[in-house]
Chains A and B, each alone.
Chain A
Amino acid sequence: MEIAEAFPGLAWGECIVQPTSVPPAIKAEVKKAIGVVPGWVDRMAANPWLVRAFSRFGQKRVAHVPPALTDLITLVVSQDNSCRYCFGVQHALLRVLGYDQGYIDRLERDFHVADLTPAQRAALDFARKISRANPRVGPREFAELAKHGFTPPAIAEIAALAAMSVFHNRVATVLALPPEALETMVDQRLFKMLRPLIAWRMRRQPVPPEPAPRSSDRPCAAVVAALDGSPAAGAFRDVIDDAWASNALPRRTKALMLAVVARALGCPATEREARDLAVREGVGSETIDEVLATLGSRELDAREAALVPFARDTVRAQPEALQRRLREVTNGAGAETILEVAGTVALANAVCRLTVLLDLC
Chain B
Amino acid sequence: MLWAVVAAAAVALGWQIVRARRTVATLEGRLESASQRLEALQQAFSRFAPAAVVEDIIAEGVSARSEKKEVTVLFADLKDFTALSERLDPAQLVSILNGYFARISRVVAEHRGHLAKFIGDGVLVLFGALDANPWQANDAVHAALAMRAALADYNAALGGDGLPRLAFGVGIHRGSVVAGVLGSAELMEYGVVGRTVNVASRVESLTRVHGVDILVTDAVCEALDRRFRLRAMPASEVKGVDAPLATFAVEGFETGGE
Which A residues have a C-beta under 8 Å from some C-beta of B?
A: 102, 105-106, 109-110, 113, 132, 134-135, 263-264, 266, 290, 292-298, 302, 305, 312, 316
Interchain CA distance A102-B28 in the complex, whole Å = 10
Interchain CA distance A213-B4 in the complex, whole Å = 74
Q: Are B35 and A316 in contact (CB under 8 A)?
A: no
A264's partner among B31, B51, B134 (CB-CB below 8 A) is: B134
- Enumerate chain A residues within 8 angstroms of B39, measured Cβ to Cβ: 110
Task: Across the interface, name the chain B residue whose C-beta is closest to A302.
Answer: B256
Interchain CA distance A264-B256 in the complex, whole Å = 25
19 A/B residue pairs, CB under 8 Å, sorted by A: A106-B28, A106-B32, A109-B35, A109-B36, A110-B35, A110-B38, A113-B31, A113-B35, A135-B52, A263-B134, A264-B134, A266-B132, A294-B226, A295-B135, A295-B138, A295-B225, A297-B226, A298-B226, A302-B256
- Enumerate chain A residues within 8 angstroms of B31, measured Cβ to Cβ: 113
**A293-B223, A294-B225, A298-B227 known; A134-B51 Cβ under 8 A:** yes
Q: 6 additional contacts, CB 8 Å, given A102-B28, A109-B36, A305-B256?
A: A135-B51, A135-B52, A293-B223, A294-B225, A295-B225, A302-B256
Q: Are A290 and B226 in contact (CB under 8 A)?
A: yes
Interchain CA distance A113-B132 in the complex, whole Å = 31
**A110-B35, A110-B38, A135-B52 known; A312-B135 Cβ under 8 A:** yes
Q: Are B131 and A134 in contact (CB under 8 A)?
A: yes
Task: Across the interface, name the chain A residue whose C-beta is closest to B131.
Answer: A134
* Least distance between B48 CB and chain A CB atoms (Å): 15
Interchain CA distance A106-B29 in the complex, whole Å = 10
Interchain CA distance A144-B253 in the complex, whole Å = 48
B51's partner among A113, A132, A293, A298 (CB-CB below 8 A) is: A132
- Enumerate chain B residues within 8 angstroms of A292, measured Cβ to Cβ: 134
> Does B224 have its Cβ within 8 Å of any Cβ on chain A?
yes
Interchain CA distance A316-B35 in the complex, whole Å = 24
Interchain CA distance A347-B28 in the complex, whole Å = 39
B135's partner among A134, A294, A298, A305 (CB-CB below 8 A) is: A294
- Enumerate chain A residues within 8 angstroms of B135, measured Cβ to Cβ: 294-295, 312
Q: Are B132 and A294 in contact (CB under 8 A)?
A: no
Interchain CA distance A263-B31 in the complex, whole Å = 40
Interchain CA distance A109-B32 in the complex, whole Å = 6
* Least distance between B37 CB and chain A CB atoms (Å): 11
Interchain CA distance A329-B52 in the complex, whole Å = 33
Q: Are A294 and B224 in contact (CB under 8 A)?
A: yes
Task: Across the interface, name the chain B residue whose C-beta is closest to A132.
Answer: B51
- Enumerate chain B residues within 8 angstroms of A105, measured Cβ to Cβ: 32
Interchain CA distance A135-B35 in the complex, whole Å = 23
Interchain CA distance A105-B35 in the complex, whole Å = 12
* Least distance between A34 CB and chain B CB atoms (Å): 32
- Enumerate chain A residues within 8 angstroms of B138, measured Cβ to Cβ: 294-295
* Least distance between B36 CB and chain A CB atoms (Å): 7
Instruction: Please indicate which of the listed interface residues A102, A132, A135 has the most CB atoms of chain B within 10 Å of its own CB.
Output: A135
Task: Across the interface, name the chain A residue whose C-beta is closest to B223.
Answer: A293
* Least distance between A134 CB and chain B CB atoms (Å): 5
Q: In B8-43, which residues have CB < 8 Å from any A CB? A: 28, 31-32, 35-36, 38-39
* Least distance between A74 CB and chain B CB atoms (Å): 19
Q: In B37-62, which residues have CB < 8 Å from any A CB? A: 38-39, 51-52
Interchain CA distance A161-B126 in the complex, whole Å = 35
Interchain CA distance A131-B223 in the complex, whole Å = 29
Interchain CA distance A132-B132 in the complex, whole Å = 13
Interchain CA distance A58-B131 in the complex, whole Å = 31
Interchain CA distance A297-B131 in the complex, whole Å = 25
Chain A proximity mask over B215-257: 1 for CB below 8 Å, otherwise 0: 0000000011111000000000000000000000000000010
Chain A proximity mask over B129-140: 1 for CB below 8 Å, otherwise 0: 001101100100
- Enumerate chain A residues within 8 angstroms of B225, measured Cβ to Cβ: 294-296
* Least distance between A350 CB and chain B CB atoms (Å): 19
Interchain CA distance A134-B131 in the complex, whole Å = 7
* Least distance between B21 CB and chain A CB atoms (Å): 12
Interchain CA distance A109-B34 in the complex, whole Å = 10
Q: Are B227 and A316 in contact (CB under 8 A)?
A: no
Task: Across the interface, name the chain B residue whose C-beta is closest to A129.
Answer: B51
Interchain CA distance A312-B131 in the complex, whole Å = 13
Interchain CA distance A134-B138 in the complex, whole Å = 21
Interchain CA distance A316-B112 in the complex, whole Å = 11
* Least distance between B30 CB and chain A CB atoms (Å): 12
Interchain CA distance A113-B51 in the complex, whole Å = 21
- Enumerate chain B residues within 8 angstroms of A135, measured Cβ to Cβ: 51-52, 132
- Enumerate chain A residues within 8 angstroms of B226, measured Cβ to Cβ: 290, 294, 297-298
Interchain CA distance A231-B52 in the complex, whole Å = 33
Instruction: Please indicate which of the listed interface residues B32, B36, B223 has the most CB atoms of chain A within 10 Å of its own CB.
Output: B32
Chain A proximity mask over B110-141: 1 for CB below 8 Å, otherwise 0: 00000000000000000000011011001000
7 tightest Cβ-Cβ pairs between the two chains A and B? A294-B225, A110-B35, A296-B225, A109-B35, A109-B32, A263-B134, A134-B51
